[in-house]
Amino acid sequence: MPLELVTVPCLEDNYAFLVHDADSGETAVIDVPEAGPIKDALAARGWTLSHVLLTHHHWDHVDGLPDLLADHPAKVIGAAADAHRLPPLDLAVAEGDSFTVGSDRFEVLNVSGHTVGHIAFHAPASKLVFTADSLMALGCGRLFEGTPAQMLDSMTKLAALPGDTTVCSGHEYTTTNAKFAATVDPENAALISRTQDIADKRAAGMPTVPSKLQLELDTNPFLRASDPAIARTLDMTGATPLDVFTEVRARRDRF
C-alpha cells in the first residue's frame, strides 16, 4: 500500500506534508513551519506522529518543532551537514542514506542551492519526493547560499526521477512563477495550459502543490535550461545549460 499523503497549509504560504502507513500506523511530517495545523491534521485522522523529516534550516520550515514534539514525541531526521544549525536530530543523514517510514524506504538526496545542506526525501515505492525550496511548482528556490551550478545539479538529480513522481514542495508561489515562466518560455503550449489550470485552482481556493514531475519537466523553466526555445528567447542560442539557468534564475530574482 502506498503511503497516504496529506498536504497541510501553514503560515502565509508554506506547506507541510504528512505521510501515513496504514499497516504500521507510522506517520511522518515533512517540515514544521508551525505546530497548530499539523497537530490538527493528526488529530482529525487519529494519527500518531513517529517521524519528523526536516529539509533545511530556514525558520519557516523548523520553527514549529518544539511545540509539535511536546505533544508528539517523534524521531527527528535532518541533514548531517546542517546539524549545527538545525534543531537537535535523532538521525543525521546525507545523500545516499535511507530510512523507513512504515514499510516505505525514504532515500536522501543532496539538493543544495537555496541553502547549502538542503536535502530532499524520495520515497520511490509511493512515488513521492519532498523537495521544499529546491524544485518548486513551476520554480526553484532563491539562491541564498549556493551557486547556480549547485542548484542546476540539484535540478538535474530531481529531473532523473520517474515522471509520475509527485513533487511536494514548500510554498504556494505558483501564480507568480507562472507569470515569470511565460516571459522566458512564451510559446510553450503545456505552460500556457498549466497557467490556466493554476488560475482556476487558485480562484477556487485550491493549492497548486503538489504537482507531477512530468508536468514540471514540461513547463518549469528551471528544469528546461537545455531547451533551445528558452535559450532563443533569452537571446542566448548556443549558450551552455548552466549559463541559461544562471540567467533564468537572475531574471526571476528581479521579476
118 catalytically annotated: no
Minimum gap (Å) between residue 130 Cβ and Zn ion: 13
Q: Which residue has the cell 490538527?
A: 40
Which residue is listed with cell 545523500? 95
Closest CB to Zn ion: residue number: 58
Output Rg (C-alpha) for the chain, integer angstroms. 18
Q: How far apart are CA 219 and CA 104, in angstroms?
A: 29
| 58 or 194: CB nearest Zn ion | 58
| Catalytic residue list contains 90 | no
60 is catalytic: yes
Please indicate whether residue 235 is annotated as part of the active site. Answer: no
Q: Which of residues 57-76 bind Zn ion (CB under 5 A)?
A: 58
Q: Shortest gap between Cβ of 81 and Zn ion (angstroms)?
A: 15
Residues of span 117-146 touching Zn ion by CB under 5 A: 133
Kindly state the number of chain residues that form the binding site for Zn ion, as judged by CB under 5 A: 2
Footprint on residues 21-60 left by Zn ion (CB under 5 A): 58
Judged by CB, which is closer to Zn ion: 60, or 104? 60
- Residue (102 or 113) nearer to Zn ion, CB: 113
Question: Which residue in 20, 57, 61, 118 is the catalytic one?
Answer: 61
| Marked catalytic residue, from 20, 51, 57, 58 | 58
19 backbone dihedrals φ, ψ, rounded to 5°: -125, 140
Closest approach of Zn ion to the CB of residue 50, in Å: 25
Nearer to Zn ion, 133 or 185 (CB): 133
Q: With binding defined as CB under 5 A, does residue 172 bind Zn ion?
A: no
Task: Identify the active-site residue in 21, 31, 171, 185.
Answer: 171
Q: Is 114 a catalytic residue?
A: yes
Active site residue 21: no
* Catalytic pick among 51, 114, 118, 122: 114
Q: Per residue, what are the HEC states of the chain?
A: CCCEEEEEEECCCEEEEEEECCCCCCEEEECCCCCHHHHHHHHHHCCCCCEEECCCCCHHHHCCHHHHHHHCCCEEEEEHHHCCCCCCCCEEECCCCEEEECCEEEEEEECCCCCCCCEEEEECCCCEEEEECCEECCEECCCCCCCHHHHHHHHHHHHCCCCCCEEEECECCHHHHHHHHHHHCCCCHHHHHHHHHHHHHHHCCCCCCCEEHHHHHHHCHHHCCCCHHHHHHCCCCCCCHHHHHHHHHHHHHHC
Q: How far is the CB of 219 from Zn ion (least distance, A)?
A: 22
Question: Which CB, 3 or 140, lies closer to Zn ion?
Answer: 140
CB of 13 to Zn ion, least distance (A): 12
Q: CB of residue 133 vs Zn ion: minimum separation in angstroms?
A: 4
If one counts every other C-beta atom within 10 angstroms of the C-beta of residue 5, the result is: 17
Is position 56 annotated as part of the catalytic site? yes
Cis check for the bond before 162: say yes or no (omega within 30 of 0): no
Footprint of Zn ion (CB under 5 A) = 58, 133
List the catalytic residues: 56, 58, 60-61, 114, 133, 171
